[in-house]
């Protein structure tokens, strides 16, 4: 071998060694990056999804559903629900610790009403309750019910002709006082 070739070969070997080190370092960085991505993929999924709004739209962009808002008290039961929909209409329900709805504001195609009861404002009217209701057909008024679900007083435009009146009823449902 020629003596002048030796420096050229040494220079080429040094370049190869530097290139080899860079290749090893790049491979190590790539391997660590892939391992990190794999570990992140194994991480626990979040238990809570947070958003300002959740809306479901059909293919044409028409809103078909929106999530309701439910607030919970310390016992874990729902104490306030606000929702809207076509079937039952929009409503705001307030419940006690046992889950019984004590107050209900309802807006639907037939009526707008406020229902309050110390027992259950949504069940059959076999409990004391106060009802303020306006039907979309026109008549509406305020009614008080006793603990047996019997109407005891009505105030408002609840007669057949839509005229306003006030009526007090006895325990059997007969009118004992009426004005006008």
- Domains of the chain, by residue range, sit at 1-43, 55-179
Token representation of residue 157:
């435009």
Closest CA to 92 of 76, 71, 66: 71
pLDDT in tens, the chain (180 residues): 567 788 888 888 888 888 888 888 888 888 888 877 777 666 566 677 777 777 778 888 887 767 667 777 777 777 877 777 556 678 888 888 777 888 888 887 777 888 888 877 776 656 677 888 777 666 678 888 887 778 888 888 766 666 788 889 998 889 999 888
CATH of domain 55-179: 3.90.930.1
Beta bridge partners of 72: 78
Residue 37, judged by CB atoms within 10 A of its CB (0-12, 13-18, 19+), counts as exposed
Alpha-carbon gap, residue 141 to 134, rounded angstroms:
6
Distance between CA atoms of residues 115 and 168, nearest Å: 19
């Amino acid at each position: 071998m020629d003596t002048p070739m030796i420096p050229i070969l040494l220079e080429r070997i040094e370049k190869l060694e530097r290139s080899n080190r860079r290749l090893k370092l790049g491979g190590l960085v790539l391997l660590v990056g892939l391992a990190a991505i794999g570990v992140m993929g194994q991480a626990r999924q979040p238990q809570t999804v947070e958003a300002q709004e959740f809306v479901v739209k059909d293919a044409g962009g028409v809103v078909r559903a929106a999530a309701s808002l439910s607030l919970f008290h310390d016992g874990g039961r729902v104490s306030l629900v606000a929702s809207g929909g076509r079937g039952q209409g929009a409503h705001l329900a307030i419940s006690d610790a046992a889950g019984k709805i004590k107050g209900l504001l309802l807006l639907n195609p037939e009526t707008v009403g406020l229902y309050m009861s110390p027992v259950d404002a949504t069940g059959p009217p076999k409990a004391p309750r106060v009802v303020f209701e306006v039907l979309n057909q026109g008549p509406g008024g305020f009614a008080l019910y006793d603990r047996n679900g019997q109407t005891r007083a009505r105030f408002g435009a609840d007669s057949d002709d839509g005229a306003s009146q006030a009526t007090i009823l006895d325990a059997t449902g007969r009118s004992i006082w009426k004005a006008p």
